[in-house]
Structure 1
Amino acid sequence: MAQVFVWLIRIAGGMILLGVAAVLISYYLLSRSLPDYQKTLATDGVAQSMDIVRDNSNVPHVFGQQDTDTFFGLGYAHAQDRLWQMVMLRRTAQGRLSEVLGVRTVEIDKLMRRFDLYALAKTSVAAQDSQTQAALAAYARGVNARLTEINTFALGRGAPELFFINSPISPWQPADSLAILKLLSVQLSSHLEEEVLYARSSLALNNAARLNDIMPLAPGNGIAALPDYASLFPQGQSFAQATGTGIPDHPLSPFQKRAHAGASNVWAAAPKRSAAGATLLANDPHLGFTAPAMWYLARLELETGGVIGGTIPGIPIVMTGRSDTLGWGITSSYLDDQDLYVEKLNPENPQEYLTPDGYQPFRTESSIIRIKDTTPVTMTLRWTENGPVLPGSHYNLVEVTPAGHVASLAWTALSDRDTTMSAGYALMRAQSVREALAAGELYVAPSQNLTVVDRNMIAMKTVGAMPRRNAAHESQGRMPSRGWIEENRWQGINAYSANPEFVAPAGGLLGNTNNKTVDRPFPQHVSHVWGDTQRVLRWRRLMQTRQVHTRDSFIEAQLDTVSFTARSLLPLIGKDLWFTGEAAPDGTPERQRQRALDLLQRWNGEMNEHLPEPLIYAAWLRALQERLIEDDMGPLAEEFTHPDPVFIERVYRDIDGASAWCDVRQSTITETCTDIARLALDDALVWIDERYGTALESLRWGDAHQATHDHQVLGEIPVLRYFVNIRQSTSGGDNTLLRGRTAGEGADPFHNVHGAAYRGVYDFADPDSSVFIISTGQSGHFLSRHYDDLSQLWRRGEYIPMSLDADLARAASVGVTRFLPAK
């Protein structure tokens, strides 16, 4: 027995030693790809010596003596820190994720192949101006120099994640950068889903007044009445029932639900509204949270001067930032750049579809998708004159596509002469507001509101191709239309001068929170759908309560967590619940409701992570919308994942009879809106009790509202996810200026999944006092200290300096990579 015990000890000890050895070997292999920032390299990729100076936050300051050398350095720096991210973005745009990730990403690849973004990107390379082409080529050389270094010196495949993928990395090409820029259009688009959902809602409700409630236009003049969707097709025409979610379910999917499409904040002050007498600019673009973040900070020394700000790995331009003389920021414009068409098939030949000139054959092409560990899939791609044919599963298109028809998409991003990259390059070199606005003419997609300031002037312009539609368009682009009717088709692109523009406003302030910018009639309307109706009201109050602003007041506005929505809706939905009813005994639902109402009636609307009221309010509004729409909308109610403040206000103010939503159609009694508000509050408190307990005063909004910076692949692996995912308690909410858009569904509906992963504030009275931050860290390597070193600063609302002083960058450097021309 003793000998058996000894052997058991030896076996256990051996297993422990083997485990330790495995951990050490794994660490050694993974750490091999940690970049060395202090070195000198000789390469034929640069014409003259060039330095990449890393500051303490790992921001690269790239000092090239000519622009091509600087872009070489940016490509090298991106590949040093974010190679995995770049590779996966490229594969996503190419529709080649399944080659390395298997069957789960097949639907993503199929959709990307249908859009054919990569082929369009390759064709668009020739459309760039010569300087942009040179920058793209130099950037690609920089990326490839890093790939060569990894292969030559066995640097752990360049990133830890690449050990999980047994596939070589192809050399970087200029088209790869254009493809990733086009991929942003996919991530930021929402009009396709809006059109489908509007049509599905029209079919479900069959009531124009109620349709205007549930999918309301932004406040302002409306549009002419639209036809009922079913009336566009022959009577008795059947529509299929969808199954599934309608979009690919994978963290790498670029297809976002409309609630998580583009958003952002920007505001600017002219010298007369600035305490220091020079312009101010603040910008925080919003994207889905990932680890690492999509944003990467960089400073570039160009022949026209230095620029610094936020870049996206794979794209060689500063998307938002400043130079010595100019600052620029971007927000999603919500310009309606997509139209969905229902194409009629030839009953005699389904390979043809109806056009204004009769039946025409589809343009077709075969495409093979290779899938890891299984057989390839061959698919036939089809295009009409309007655009690519989409599958019925995409955003549940099958529900609005009658039998004998297919859906196609017209979209400005599907241009094979997309010069958006040239616009970005020209913007970085611009020296004035006028030059920056002129550069915007080259911008195609994704459409943005470009806000620019120089030392004396502020301006905002919508950039991006705006489709020219016929005034007789049957659906005005609000829902799918018949593709064979000439009046429904695009008539080209509007002149750049037609895009909204605001230059040197008399009030001295400009801002955009994705709110409605113009109130022009169709077809010059810009959009029927806007990304915000609430944050802008809080922004207006913060801006107008000060005669002059400072950098700190702009930061204060960026970090503001007071919800105008909560302040306006709570008195409305609870007006007959406040201070009413008799005292109820402890432990009863009535007593819990009274305690919740007592907390809310003293609350100022601040969505602070440490308070209980934001959680009670958010849960109440979510339950309220569910109660209001479930009986009328049926299964379609699940598509409305976030409470719409305009809808709820219409109901509780009974605008155009909207209080009809409060009556439950299936019940024999007539419920009032007060009844529904009380029942919804009880629903919310039951949900809170099940998740967080009955002690309402001890609740913390931040426990529910965690920012989920999750790794898109490794973040789902047990144990490993604790090392690669970055989770933080955060303030803010769906409708605060410090926007923390919630998931809206699933087990954790209040997780913060979409927000300002980049913030920058630029003060041209003292440019070197400008500040910026991203939400994770510069490195994509989870063993690097720079993987999450900026995340706590971001969470606390802190920033790091943003200086273009070359001497300061070198004096505070933690590493210098020097490139010398090869002899």
Structure 2
Amino acid sequence: MALLFRWLFRIAGGMIFLIVLGVTLVWYLASRSLPDYDATIIAPYLNAPVEIVRDNANVPHIFGETDEDVFYALGFAHAQDRLWQMTMLRRTAQGRLSEVFGTPTVSIDKLMRRLDLYSRATASVEVQDERTRRLLSAYATGVNVRLDQVNASALGRGAPEMFVFNAPVAPWRPADSLAIIKLMALQLSGHLDAEVQRARMSLVVPDADRLSDILPEVPGSGVVALPEYAGIVPGVLPFAEAAPANRHPLSPFRPGVMAGASNVWAAAPSRSASGGTLLANDPHLGFTAPAIWYLARMELQSGGVIGGTIPGLPLVLTGRSASLGWGLASAGMDDQDVFIEKVNPDNPEEYRTPDGFKAFQTRGSIINIKDETPITITLRWTDNGPVLPGTHYNLAAVTPPGHVASLAWTALSPRDTSMTAALKLMEAKSVRDGIAAIEGFVAPAQNMVLVDREEIAMKMIGVMPRRDARHQSQGRMPSPGWIAANRWQGRLPYASNPEFIAPNGGILGNTNNKTVDRPFPNHVSFTWGDTQRVQRWRRLMQSRQVHTRDSFIEAQLDTVSFTARSLLPLIGAELWFTGEAAPDGTPLRQRQRALTLLAGWSGEMNEHLPEPLIYAAWLRSLQARIVQDELGPLAATLTHVEPLFIERVFRDVDGAGVWCDVIQSAATETCADMARLALDDALISISETWGPALESLRWGDAHQATHDHPVLGEVPLLRFFVNIRQSTNGGDNTLQRGLTRGTGPEPFQNVHGAAYRGVYDFADPDSSVFVTSTGQSGHFLSRHYDDLAQLWRRGEYIPMSLDQDLARAASVGVTVLRPR
């Protein structure tokens, strides 16, 4: 027995030793890729020494004698901190993820190859102006110098992920940066999904009034009735089987509701307590770890610029200079159209055009797959755009036999000058200079708010397609590509993009809400991103005569739900304080307790309160009950509550109350019945997940922000180190937006919101502040991986200063790049 015990002890000790040795080895190899921020590096192709001063939040402040040297250093800094992120963005745009991840990402690569974004980006390099090409080349050189340093000094392959997913990293090229702009446009575009959804809905809800209920128009005149989809494209089955969605963490394809959103607003000196202009901006994207945003400051010949960059792009996309600030919000512009192309029944290599059948443009493309045999796919293009597979956003469900679907999209332009325009903006000195500078921006379409020291303005940037007034679906549903009136007729002039300069009221902004009410085809869009947040924003902006930096911060962090305040009195109108108190432990008693809590609630989506969870679960269950019988399988596509639909139903607008009656039942159900049953459903669901004690519920337990690493976040054990989870305030329709997942076992997780916040005060520019949702470093062993995360969660910020001395004070290091 003693001998057995000794051997068991030796085996256990040996296993512990091997585990400790393995962990130590992994830590050592991973830590080798941690950058040394306090170093002098001999770098080729520089004109003169460059300093990268990293302040105490690890924000690089870059000082050089020429703009080329400054952009060179930005590329170096991006590669130091976010090399893995940059290479993944590039591989995604190129359609080359499968070379690293194998078969799970093949479907993503196929779609990206069919869109051909990278080839379009490569072609666009030649149309940039000469200065832009020089700056792109300088940036790429800086990235490549970091790659050479990693290889020469054995710096852990540059990022810990490179050990787990070993693959060669090609040198950076100017086209790579242009491709990332197009990839951003892809992530911010939701009209393709909206077109397919509307077409499918029209097949099962033929009544135009009922279709307007479930897919409501944003209030305002100018929209006319549309024909049924079956009348435009006959032969489609109403309940065609839905194709499985691609949910890989690296996929850039997200449902339309997850397309880009944002808040941006400004105040003129007349509405500012300090007498200077104010600007607040918080762009909304899907949460990741690290965040997509990277803070940086560049000292250019035209002056200092500081704000949010995206690694891979040599741009301050949202930020300020000493004299100009700019912020972005998704414009909602309808810049995508789906076309149904008729294939020649006698020759499948041809498709129908207004002038007869024509051959597809075709090209083979080889996809290399890790540990598998490469596959070759054939890319097909029509005059309208690339042919997409039926699995993409369920296009097969709206494509009749003998046809294929193609996509027209402004971001597919091979003459995309967005980079040149954005670089010019960084040098602009005034609002009007900025509006003129950004004219060449193509995609993604954005509402850009600009402020200088005296003036404020908002300009929609991005190319608007020119459509024929006779377009059969007005771009709202797929249409036959062989009908000339459906095809795009070029682009509208930049002057036709909505523009608001120096408004009389002194305040302007956008929460992705409807901005103009113009008749088709100059309408901008029929589908807008917000009808709710704008109501709360208007209230906050108009409740004060003058604003301050702090009042703008307060608005940015506001968690009061206008939606909850407006809908709860409607859906609970016949339920509040009715009947006698029920015995404890009964469903009726639980319902009464929930209604009592909601009756005294202000609508604040605070993480510590139970009411937001009860409200969110009730609305979710209510919409599901109302639509299930009419929509059948299509009900699953409505992942988030549509407030205008609920309001139309409960106000019985144009007979919308009919949705409350269950078609299959003999009885006639009222909306009050649906509200009561839905509340019971919600309380059962809450009890099963969080327990029956309603008063002890916390919204933040369900509304966890999921800053997950797109790859390592799913690896056992590692996920505890790389994923950042936080209890958060806000909800789908609050200004501090925390869009919920909407599907799966944890539908209330916070997955999409303001990963960057900035507030700029031009009365005292150095008092401006900003923050991101994680940290500057993409290396999970770095203290800067998540050091900003708790500030972000608590609604705190760090200074946004162009003062060189402040940057050097308590800096974490100064990197000097010296020419040979």
Q: TM-score, normalised by structure 1?
A: 0.99
Determine if contact 1:45/1:142 at 8 Å carries over to the other structure: no
Q: Residues 17-28 of structure 1 correspond to what in structure 2 (within 5 A)?
A: 17-28=17-28
Offset of residue 239 of structure 1: 6.9
Q: What secondary structure does 1:299 align onto?
A: strand
Aligned to 1:583: 581
Offset, 1:233? 3.5
Residue 308 of structure 1 aligns to a residue whose secondary structure is strand
Mapped contact 2:236–2:399 kept (Cα < 8 A) = no
Equivalent-residue separation in structure 1 for 2:247 and 2:558 (angstroms): 33
- 2:84 is aligned to 84
Structure 1 residue matching 2:726: 3-state secondary structure: strand
Q: Is 1:241 matched with 2:240?
A: yes
- Secondary structure in 2 aligned to 1:609? coil
Name the SS of the counterpart of 2:307 in structure 1: strand
Match of 1:254 in 2: 252
Q: Which AA in structure 1 matches 2:518? A: R
Equivalent position SS for 2:363: strand
- Which one of the candidate residues 364, 376, 394 is aligned to 2:362? 364
- What CA deviation, in whole Å up to 9, does each residue of 1:608-664 have, x standing for no partner? 000000000000000000001011000000000000000000000000110010000
* 1:205-258, Cα deviation, whole Å (9 max, x unpaired): 121111111111111114121111111234x5657823443x322011001111
Structure 1 residue 583, shift from structure 2 partner? 1.3
Q: Which residue of 1 aligns with 2:382?
A: 384
1:396 aligns with 2:394: yes
Aligned position for 2:535: 537
For the 8 Å contact 1:239–1:402, the answer to whether it is kept is no
1: CA distance, partners of 2:641 / 2:585: 29
Paired with 1:45 and 1:674, the residues of 2 have a C-alpha distance of 73
Instruction: Select the residue among 754, 757, 760 that pairs with 2:755.
Output: 757
Contact 1:45 1:145 in 2 (8 A): no
Which of 265, 285, 288 in structure 2 is aligned with 1:287? 285
Alpha-carbon separation, structure 1, partners of 2:236 and 2:281: 49
217-226 vs 628-637, greater mean Cα deviation: 217-226
The equivalent position to 2:268 in structure 1, one of 249, 267, 270, is 270
CA distance in 2: counterparts of 1:564 and 1:389, whole angstroms: 42
- For residue 483 of structure 1, what is the aligned residue in structure 2? 481
Q: Name the % identity.
A: 70
Q: Residue 308 of structure 2 corresponds to which residue in structure 1? A: 310
Aligned to 1:161: 161
CA distance in 1, matches of 2:45, 2:269: 44
* Alpha-carbon distance, 1:64 to partner: 1.3
1:179 aligns with 2:179: yes
- Determine if contact 2:365/2:378 at 8 Å carries over to the other structure: yes
> How far does the alpha carbon of each residue in 1:576-630 deviate from its partner, in whole angstroms, 9 at most, with x for none?
0011122110000000000000000000000000000000000000000000101
Amino acid at match of 1:4: L
Contact 1:105-1:248 at 8 Å conserved across structures = no
| Distance apart, 1:121 and its partner CA | 0.4
Tell me the distance in 2 between the aligned counterparts of 1:731 and 1:811.
34
Distance in 2 (alpha carbons) for counterparts of 1:572 and 1:495: 45
Output the CA distance in 1 between the equivalents of 2:281 and 2:330.
Answer: 12
CA 1:147–1:74 in structure 2 vs 1: closer, same or farther (change >3 Å)? same
Aligned to 1:139: 139
Give the secondary-structure state (helix, strand or coil) at the position aligned to 2:459. Answer: strand
Residue 104 of structure 1 is matched in structure 2 by 104
Is 1:465–2:459 an aligned residue pair?
no
Tell me the alpha carbon deviations over residues 659-681 of structure 1, each in whole angstroms, 9 at most, x when there is no partner: 01000000000000000000000
- Offset at 1:762? 0.2
- Residues 240 and 99 (structure 1), Cα distance of their counterparts in 2 relative to 1, 3 Å cut: farther
| Mapped pair 1:296 → 2:278 | no
Provide the C-alpha distance between the structure 2 equivalents of 1:132 and 1:72, rounded to a whole number of angstroms: 13
| Contact map agreement 1:192 1:340 (CA 8 A) in 2 | yes
Q: Bigger CA drift: 343-352 or 87-96?
A: 343-352
CA contact (8 A) 1:45 1:72 kept: no
Residue 621 of structure 2: aligned partner: 623
Q: 1:323 maps to which residue?
A: 321
Amino acid at match of 1:166: N
Match for residue 555 of structure 1?
A: 553
CA distance in 2, matches of 1:575, 1:7: 74
Counterpart in 2 of 1:46? 46
Match of 2:351 in 1: 353
Asked if structure 2 preserves the Cα contact closer than 8 Å seen for 1:239 and 1:403, the reply is no
1:515 match: secondary structure: coil
Whole-angstrom CA distance in 2 between matches of 1:238 and 1:52: 60
- For residues 682 and 96 of structure 2, the distance between their equivalents in structure 1, rounded to whole angstroms, comes to 43
Which digits, 9 at most, give the CA deviation of each residue in 1:745-795, with x for residues without a partner? Answer: 101000000000000000000000000000000000000000000000000
> Using the alignment, how far apart are the partners of 2:527 and 2:640 within structure 1?
15
Structure 2: which amino acid aligns with 1:367? S
Tell me, yes or no, if the aligned pair for 2:200 and 2:238 is still in contact at 8 Å: no
Counterpart of 1:736 (choices 722, 734, 737) is 734
How far has the Cα of 1:479 moved from its partner?
Answer: 0.3
Number of positions where the alignment pairs a residue of Structure 1 with one of Structure 2: 820
d(CA) in 2 for partners of 1:798 and 1:292? 18
Indicate yes or no: 2:170 matched with 1:170: yes
* Partner residue in 2 for 1:447: 445
Q: 3-state DSSP class of the match of 2:614?
A: helix
User: Which AA in structure 2 matches 1:98?
Assistant: S
Q: Distance in 1 between matches of 2:811 and 2:642?
A: 48
Q: Do 1:240 and 1:402's aligned partners in 2 also have CA atoms closer than 8 Å?
A: no
Match of 1:512 in 2: 510
Unaligned segments of structure 2, at least 5 residues: none
Match of 2:633 in 1: 635
What is the identity, as a one-letter code, of the residue corresponding to 1:452?
A: L
Q: Map 1:764-783 to 2 at 5 A.
A: 764-783=762-781
Question: 1:811 deviation in Å?
Answer: 2.5
Matched position secondary structure for 1:429 = coil
Partner of 1:3: 3
Q: 2:267·2:508 contact (CA, 8 Å) conserved in 1? A: yes
Distance, in Å, in 2 between the alignment partners of 1:329 and 1:71 is: 21
Name the aligned partner's letter for residue 241 of structure 1.
A
Partner SS for 1:285: strand
Q: Tell me the equivalent position of 1:474.
A: 472
- Structure 2 matches for 1:583-622, cutoff 5 A? 583-622=581-620
Please state whether the residue corresponding to 1:339 is helix, strand or coil: strand
Structure 1 alignment gaps of length 5 or more:
none
Residue 72 of structure 2 is matched in structure 1 by 72
Equivalent residue, structure 2, for 1:722: 720
SS at match of 1:349: coil
Select which of 766, 786, 789 maps to 2:787.
Answer: 789
Distance in 1, Cα, partners of 2:745 & 2:669: 30
CA offset digits 1:249-298 (Å, max 9, x no partner): 20110011111101000000000000011100000000000000000000
Secondary structure in 2 matching 1:42: strand
Query: Which of residues 386, 407, 414 in structure 2 aligns to 1:416?
Result: 414
The residue matched to 2:178 in structure 1 has which SS? helix
Partners of 2:24 and 2:233 in 1: how far apart?
67
Checking the alignment, whether the CA contact within 8 Å between 1:573 and 1:677 is kept in structure 2 is yes
Structure 1 residue 104 displacement after superposition: 0.8
Q: Deviations over 1:367-404 (max 9, x none)?
A: 11111121112111100000000101111011110111
| Structure 1 residue ranges, 4+ long, deviating more than 2 angstroms after superposition | 236-245
Match of residue 55 from structure 1:
55
Mapped partners of 1:315, 1:628: distance in 2 = 46
Structure 1 residues 175-254: aligned runs within 5 Å = 175-234=175-234, 241-245=240-244, 247-254=245-252
**1:495-506 residue pairs with structure 2 within 5 A?**
495-506=493-504
